[in-house]
């Protein structure tokens, strides 16, 4: 199986039968831009085994399992138990194919195979077939493809319908888009073996004639180029097999005549119809039976009646009087109100009303027969005494802030009083209407709600802002008072700089005018015109280094402590013996009588590490500047108790670089 992403130059090859995977990326585009199983692609193998937590390790198993990507918890690979270092690594006879097999003869002249023959790499403890497959893959990259598997040794079993091929050229399986072969590196695997006139379509071999047809997904059939048809699932659409792209293109059917929906009136539904439902030719409006009717509010003695002569589709009702529904309604009025009958369009209304407020005498009712006599405040009918109603003019009320004057009839006369207005009264000095938002002070914000309190006024819902002391919460900040602001302004006195460092964020606190350098960037804390401490970042300028000339002259390209600027470091001296400054030495309470000049080893020694692409492990070589020759010498010394003695020392005369 081959996955190619041409935009990235990525190739991923997978051989399912042996679970063999190779990944190829262009180094000139991906240097220092990758991570995971392939390292960071910078040509330096010593830093390739960086785990997911950005920690460098030398344990290949720990490194590999840190990059495991499970789909769920059940699919996490179990880390194997380490193999005992005391087990016997018997060589596997199959490993001799690498050094002696005829099938690998051409490859051995192109590839260094000696490291594959070590017992710890190709033995019965590690499957020899895996190492033979790895060696064959290296041979293919070198230009020598080897058909080395047999039915009895490292055979690859293919699923039904596929055949094994050790050196299949590209295209590995012919398709309509890639029918001919190209010159490319061959691969090993299981492939469909199609006839010369067949290509792979949907995972099976089919006639190459299908490459000039379109596939209709709805009907699951192939269509000829230029063919047009109407889908069964949607008769209002029309599809065509595009002769150039061999893709199915569909669109709405084109009608010779098609009328739009009509514009209808109130409670009407627009309709279109015709012999072809996709191309209607007639339009009309139907009444909507679910439309709400217009109904009046009928009075006593009236009934709803639908009007059949009203135009339109909306039902219309009118109130019609039925005198038979009018009933006699007797009520009793409280004094001094009187009973009157008010005529209406249907049944008369009987109600109690106040008499006119004047010095007139009230009339007698029919059952009181006639007026006998009258005084100033009373008059008498035949057998009843009536009080004459006199109303005084109401005096205007002088209401306080937030109150309003309300006048109403009480026992036929008008009286006025002060009641709370529909407002919020704030501190008895400010009025707000319901729904208004307002501030009592810089730290208190309120809303005038619709809720009415026990005092009759609307209730104010207020919230008070609690200010934090930013100097205690944020290091390097202080509060500055601002007019009209509750909490003032929190200004930084120092700069806070947060930068990524080995996968985690690291924070630095900089004083004003302090400079901090991180990699190729320089950060300076300054105070701006508003008094804020802000960070100003600039890029570090690095002088150019001629890497080739440096190495040719025996130098080493090194970087500064920030890993930004490179420089050519010329070693001053290799490993050698050098003498220290003379000084008195004290051992066990005894001190030398004269200064002693000792020698020590110093200087550079070679060291390095590289990645072995076959074994998957790192090979290190380190040497240390160590003493090789010395002589013993005795120095007179005086002890704390006054006795004389000799102190023995080793004087180094020669140093060299030794394997560590």
How would you label 590-626 residue by residue, b for 16+ Cβ within 10 Å and e otherwise?
bebeeebeebebebebeeeeebeebbeebeeeebebe
**Between these two residues, 524 and 94, which has the higher pLDDT value?**
524
Q: 13 near 187, Cβ under 8 Å? A: yes
Q: Does residue 339 have a pLDDT over 60?
A: yes
Mean pLDDT of 289-297: 87
Query: Quick one: pLDDT at residue 70?
Result: 64
Per the structure block, which two tokens stand in for 247?
Answer: 């893709």
Query: Quick one: pLDDT at residue 449?
Result: 92
Query: Quick one: pLDDT at residue 638?
Result: 92
Query: Quick one: pLDDT at residue 361?
Result: 45
pLDDT band, very low/low/confident/very high, at 479 (cuts 50, 70, 90) = confident
Q: Does residue 596 have a pLDDT over 70?
A: yes
Write the pLDDT tens digit of every residue in 11-34.
Answer: 777 765 555 677 777 766 777 788
Q: Does residue 368 have a pLDDT over 60?
A: no
Mean pLDDT of 478-494: 80
> What is the CATH T-level fold of the domain 208-252, as seen in this structure?
Complement Module; domain 1 (2.10.70)
Mean pLDDT of 510-529: 85
CATH 2.10.90.10: which residues of the chain? 576-659
Query: Quick one: pLDDT at residue 388?
Result: 47
Q: 236 near 276, Cβ under 8 Å? A: no
**Between these two residues, 260 and 468, which has the higher pLDDT value?**
260
CA distance 516 to 510: 8
CA distance 114 to 145: 19
**Between these two residues, 15 and 301, which has the higher pLDDT value?**
301
Mean pLDDT of 413-426: 83
Query: Quick one: pLDDT at residue 88?
Result: 52
Mean pLDDT of the chain: 78
Q: Does residue 365 have a pLDDT over 50?
A: no
Query: Quick one: pLDDT at residue 394?
Result: 60
Q: Does residue 72 have a pLDDT over 70?
A: no
CATH 2.10.70: which residues of the chain? 208-252
Model confidence pTM above 0.75: no
Sign of the four-CA dihedral 434, 437, 442, 443: positive
Give the whole-number percent of the chain exceeding pLDDT 70. Answer: 80
CA distance 295 to 318: 7
Write the pLDDT tens digit of every residue in 197-256.
Answer: 888 877 788 888 888 888 888 888 888 888 998 888 888 889 999 887 788 999 988 888
Instruction: Identify the CA nearest to 481 among candidates 535, 529, 531, 527.
Output: 531
CA distances from 590 to 557, 595, 647, 651 (A): 48, 13, 8, 19
Q: How many CB atoms lie within 10 A of CB 97?
A: 22
Query: Is omega for the bond preceding 223 within 30 degrees of 0, making it cis?
Result: no
Q: How many CB atoms lie within 10 A of CB 150?
A: 9
Query: Quick one: pLDDT at residue 28?
Result: 67
Could you tell me which residues come within 8 angstroms of residue 572 by beta carbon, excluding any fewer than 6 positions away? none
Q: Does residue 424 have a pLDDT over 80?
A: yes
CA distance 570 to 555: 5
Residue written as token pair 């192109």: 110
Check residue 126 and report its DSSP letter: B
Of 30-44, 269-283, 522-536, the range with the lowest mean pLDDT is 30-44
DSSP H/E element including 61: helix 60-66
Check residue 65 and report its DSSP letter: H
Q: Does residue 519 have a pLDDT over 80?
A: no
How would you label 553-566 residue by residue, b for 16+ Cβ within 10 Å and e otherwise?
eebeeeeeeeebbb
Q: Does residue 392 have a pLDDT over 70?
A: no
Q: How many CB atoms lie within 10 A of CB 339?
A: 13
Of 264-278, 381-395, 587-601, 642-656, the range with the lowest mean pLDDT is 381-395
pLDDT band, very low/low/confident/very high, at 590 (cuts 50, 70, 90) = very high
Query: Quick one: pLDDT at residue 626?
Result: 87
Question: How many Cα atoms are found within 13 Å in the side-chain-facing hemisphere of 318?
Answer: 7
Q: Does residue 306 have a pLDDT over 70?
A: yes
Query: Quick one: pLDDT at residue 90?
Result: 63
Q: Does residue 121 have a pLDDT over 60?
A: no
Query: Quick one: pLDDT at residue 42?
Result: 76
Q: How many CB atoms lie within 10 A of CB 340?
A: 13
Q: Does residue 367 have a pLDDT over 50?
A: no
Query: Is omega for the bond preceding 171 within 30 degrees of 0, making it cis?
Result: yes
Query: Quick one: pLDDT at residue 336?
Result: 66
Q: Does residue 391 have a pLDDT over 70?
A: no
CA distance 123 to 89: 6
**Between these two residues, 367 and 200, which has the higher pLDDT value?**
200
Positions of E strands within 94-236: 162-168, 187-192, 198-201, 204-207, 213-216, 221-224, 228-229
Thinking of the domain 576-659, which architecture would CATH place it in?
Answer: Ribbon (2.10)
């Amino acid at each position: 199986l081959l996955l190619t992403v041409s935009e990235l130059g990525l190739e991923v090859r997978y051989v399912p039968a042996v679970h063999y995977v190779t990944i190829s990326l262009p180094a000139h585009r991906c240097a220092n831009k990758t991570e995971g199983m392939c390292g960071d692609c910078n040509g330096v193998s010593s830093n390739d085994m960086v785990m997911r937590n950005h920690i460098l390790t030398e344990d290949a198993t720990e490194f590999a399992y840190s990059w495991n990507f499970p789909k769920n918890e059940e699919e996490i690979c179990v880390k194997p138990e380490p193999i005992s270092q005391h087990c016997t690594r018997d060589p596997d006879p199959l490993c001799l194919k690498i050094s002696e097999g005829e099938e690998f003869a051409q490859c051995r002249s192109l590839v260094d195979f000696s490291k594959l023959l070590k017992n710890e790499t190709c033995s019965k403890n590690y499957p020899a077939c895996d190492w033979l497959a790895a060696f064959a893959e290296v041979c293919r990259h070198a230009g020598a493809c080897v058909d080395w598997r047999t039915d009895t040794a490292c055979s690859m079993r293919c699923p039904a319908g596929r055949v094994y091929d050790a050196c299949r050229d590209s295209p590995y399986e012919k398709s309509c888009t890639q029918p001919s072969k190209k010159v490319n590196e061959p691969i090993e695997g299981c492939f469909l073996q199609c006839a010369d006139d067949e290509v792979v379509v949907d995972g099976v071999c089919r006639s190459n004639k299908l490459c000039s047809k379109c596939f209709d997904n709805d009907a699951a059939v192939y269509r000829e180029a230029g063919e047009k048809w109407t889908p069964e699932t949607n008769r209002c659409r029309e599809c065509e097999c595009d002769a150039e792209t061999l893709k199915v293109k569909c669109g709405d059917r084109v009608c010779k005549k098609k009328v739009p929906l009509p514009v209808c009136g109130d409670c009407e539904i627009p309709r279109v119809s015709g012999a072809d439902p996709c191309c209607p030719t007639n339009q009309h409006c139907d009444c909507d039976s679910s439309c709400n009717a217009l109904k009046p509010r009928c009075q006593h003695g009236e009934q709803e009646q639908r009007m059949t002569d009203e135009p339109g589709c909306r039902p219309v009702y009118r109130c019609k009087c039925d005198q038979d529904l009018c009933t006699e309604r007797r009520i009793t009025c409280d004094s001094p109100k009187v009973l009157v009958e008010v005529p209406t369009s249907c049944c008369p209304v009987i109600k109690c009303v106040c008499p006119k407020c004047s010095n007139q005498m009230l009339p007698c009712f029919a059952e009181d027969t006639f007026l006998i006599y009258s005084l100033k405040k009373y008059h008498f009918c035949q057998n009843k005494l009536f009080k004459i109603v006199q109303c005084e003019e109401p005096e205007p009320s002088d209401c306080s802030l937030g109150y309003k004057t309300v006048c109403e009839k009480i026992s036929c006369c008008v009286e006025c009083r002060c009641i709370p207005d529909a407002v919020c009264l704030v501190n008895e000095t400010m009025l707000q209407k319901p729904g208004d938002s307002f501030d009592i002070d810089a730290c208190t914000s309120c809303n005038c709600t619709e809720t009415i309190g026990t005092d009759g006024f609307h209730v104010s819902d207020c919230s008070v802002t609690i200010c934090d002391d930013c100097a205690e919460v944020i290091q390097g900040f202080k509060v500055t008072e601002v007019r009209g602001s509750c909490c003032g302004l929190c200004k930084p006195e120092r700069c806070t700089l947060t930068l990524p460092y080995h996968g985690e964020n690291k924070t630095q606190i900089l004083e004003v005018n302090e400079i901090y350098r991180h990699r190729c960037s320089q950060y300076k804390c300054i105070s701006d015109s508003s008094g804020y401490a802000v960070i100003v970042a600039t890029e570090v300028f690095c002088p150019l280094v001629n890497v080739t000339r440096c190495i040719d002259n025996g130098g080493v390209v090194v970087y500064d402590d920030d890993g930004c600027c490179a420089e050519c470091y010329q070693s001053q001296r290799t490993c050698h013996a050098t003498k220290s400054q003379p000084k008195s030495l004290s051992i066990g309470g005894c001190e030398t009588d004269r200064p002693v000049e000792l020698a020590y080893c110093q200087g550079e020694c070679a060291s390095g590490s590289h990645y072995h692409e076959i074994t998957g492990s790192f090979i290190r070589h380190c040497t240390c500047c160590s003493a090789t020759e010395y002589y013993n010498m005795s120095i007179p010394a005086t002890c704390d108790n006054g006795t004389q003695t000799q102190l023995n020392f080793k004087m180094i005369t020669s140093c060299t670089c030794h394997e560590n």
